[in-house]
Amino acid sequence: MIFIADRKPNGHHNNKTNKENRTHINMISTANIDKFKDLETPFYYYDLDVLRQTLNACRDASVKHGFHVHYALKANFNPRVLDIIQSYGFGADCVSGNEVKAAIAHGFDKGKVVFAGVGKSDREINLALDADIFCFNVESVQELHIINELAAAKNKKANVAIRINPNVDAHTHHFITTGLDENKFGINIWQLPDVAAALRQCSNLQFLGIHFHIGSQITDLEVYKSLCTRINEMQDWFTDHGFEVKVLNAGGGLGVDYHHPDNDIADFENYFQVFKNFLNVKPGQEVHFELGRALVAQSAALISRVLYVKNGLKKNFLILDAGMTELIRPMLYQAYHQIENVSQNAKSSTTNLKYDVVGPICESTDCFQKDVDLPESFRGDIIAVRTAGAYGEVMASGYNLRDIVGSVYSE
């Protein structure tokens, strides 16, 4: 059965083994396509079985090492997605006060909620203090003093971890790298003496540990070996300066294969094994991770229709009813998403053409991809833009006064 959520105006666990999980992504089935043709497009299609397979794989791979995983809500805060993820016992990684509120409203244990972000407002800090969250990931010396003052006003003690820029190159797109000295995030290593002084001064703060996040869509696991080396160095620095490091938070950033959406889910086994092998975990320490994209990206596609076909002398265009208002990543990051014509007539087509696949938005940058090799396509054909479960729906906008589109679920 397939369910559709209301369109919004502007303004039992699967226990398959990890090996099985890594071979059964096939969300765009013939049965689904038959149902898609009767639904108003565009919409985000969620295959909840793929989501559960992914969550199972992550949970199984992390639990055997005793690791703690927090789901990064910024990747996708679709209500049904959140309900399913929290049912697996994951914590929540939040970067705004409203994300903290959403996590708790959807049943995430407040004792597993972490709050990061380079610009937390006083209102957001107070909200998190009132919720008694697990930890603030602090990104500046000044922020330490602000949290201390606000906690003192409530006669509370706030748990904090220090987000450190390890100056590790994540080898990813420069717009989504976060761990270099020139990034706005975190505290640079040369500022650590000031951090130590602030922690000693702030009596309403409880230092828990250190936090890192070097970027997003990382597929080279060698990068994480370099991160482990830097984490080991940083925890030794804090220990040498008299601080007990209870938590090592390695962040997230694990990528997925956008070019082959029906292939394996993210390689959680080898990802966690890197940290098991190269991180110096001391007795009593906890190791935490903050994963978003790798948990949700492959569980959804953006489903659209061809509105018009324009054939030119040098270019052919497919103009869809979805655009950058539904999936901004191609415009914002030059990101690749596989595009498929999933209409029945496309399966029997013997003619392939190259198309620039574009949206209806009044912007030249409203383009999903250029020179896409597709079966000859026609008005009304159904197009699937794959691997849209992360940073798709959450980044949707009402630009051009467009409706915010709804979601369809596999069950």
**How deeply is 207 buried, as exposed, middle or buried, from its count of CB atoms within 10 A (0-12, 13-18, 19+)?**
buried
Is pLDDT above 60 for 11? Answer: no
**Residue 118: both structure tokens together:** 């380079």
Give pLDDT, residue 178: 42
Give pLDDT, residue 31: 62
Give pLDDT, residue 347: 83
Is pLDDT above 60 for 17? Answer: no
Higher-confidence residue: 12 or 354? 354
Q: What is the pLDDT of residues 368-381, one digit of tens each?
A: 999 999 999 999 99
Q: Measured between alpha carbons, how far is 91 from 111 in angstroms, rounded to an integer?
A: 8
Mean pLDDT of 125-146: 98
Calculate what percentage of the chain has a pLDDT beyond 70: 89
- 173 pLDDT band (50/70/90 cuts)? very low
CA 369 vs. chain centroid, Å, equals 22
Give pLDDT, residue 346: 87
Calculate what percentage of the chain has a pLDDT beyond 90: 81
Mean pLDDT of 131-154: 98
Tell me if 340 sits within 8 A of 28, measured CB to CB: yes
Q: What is the pLDDT of residues 305-338, one digit of tens each?
A: 999 999 988 899 999 999 999 999 999 989 999 9
- Strand 316-320 and strand 300-311: the pairing is antiparallel
Q: What is the pLDDT of residues 242-287, one digit of tens each?
A: 999 999 999 999 999 999 999 889 999 999 999 999 999 999 999 9
CA distances from 265 to 74, 219, 257 (A): 20, 12, 8
**69 sits in which H/E element:** strand 68-72
Is pLDDT above 70 for 395? Answer: yes
Give pLDDT, residue 15: 35
Tell me if 105 sits within 8 A of 124, measured CB to CB: no
Residues 6+ apart with CB under 8 A from 30: none
Q: What is the pLDDT of residues 39-59, one digit of tens each?
A: 999 999 999 999 999 999 999
What sign has the CA pseudo-torsion 213, 217, 221, 226? negative
Mean pLDDT of 145-149: 98
- 169 pLDDT band (50/70/90 cuts)? low
Which segment of 7-16, 234-243, 339-348 scores lowest on mean pLDDT?
7-16
Tell me if 60 sits within 8 A of 269, measured CB to CB: no
Q: Measured between alpha carbons, how far is 164 from 214 in angstroms, rounded to an integer?
A: 10
Across-strand partners of 316? 311
Q: What is the pLDDT of residues 76-95, one digit of tens each?
A: 999 999 999 999 999 999 99
Higher-confidence residue: 326 or 30? 326
Q: Measured between alpha carbons, how far is 201 from 297 in angstroms, rounded to an integer?
A: 43
Tell me if 289 sits within 8 A of 69, measured CB to CB: yes
What sign has the CA pseudo-torsion 245, 275, 214, 369? negative
| Own/partner pairs, 320-323, CB within 8 angstroms, 24+ separation | 320/42, 320/357, 320/358, 320/359, 320/360, 320/368, 320/383, 321/41, 321/42, 321/359, 321/360, 322/41, 322/42, 322/359, 322/385, 322/405, 323/358, 323/359, 323/360, 323/361, 323/366
Q: Which residue is associated with the tokens 């910024």?
A: 74
- 179 pLDDT band (50/70/90 cuts)? very low
Give pLDDT, residue 14: 38
**What domains can you pick out in the chain, each with its CATH number?**
50-296 (3.20.20.10)
